[in-house]
Amino acid sequence: MNTGIHFETQLAALIEDQPIRRVVELHPEVMPILAGHGLDLCCGGGHTIAEAIQLHGLDRELVIDQIAAAIAVSARG
């Protein structure tokens, strides 16, 4: 069983309901990914990741997967 993929799937489920501000505070390594999709800390980063993705008309699965992968890679050291 590939626990890395399982970890990223669980992480992805947790990420989307977090405010952008909180995700960046805990995981600054995701900022380049967010910026690459036109997401930033405007409005104080109060929108959840899911809200921001929807407001910008982005592919939810793609963005969440990229964020989760970056966090997972960072967590592995």
Answer yes or no: CATH 3.90.1720 is held by domain 3-76: no
pTM of the model: 0.82
| pLDDT tens column, 4-49 | 556 667 777 788 899 999 999 999 999 999 999 999 887 778 899 9
Q: Is the dihedral of CA 64, 76, 27, 29 positive or negative?
A: negative
Tell me the C-alpha distance between 43 and 12, whole Å: 23
Q: Is the dihedral of CA 65, 19, 39, 73 positive or negative?
A: negative
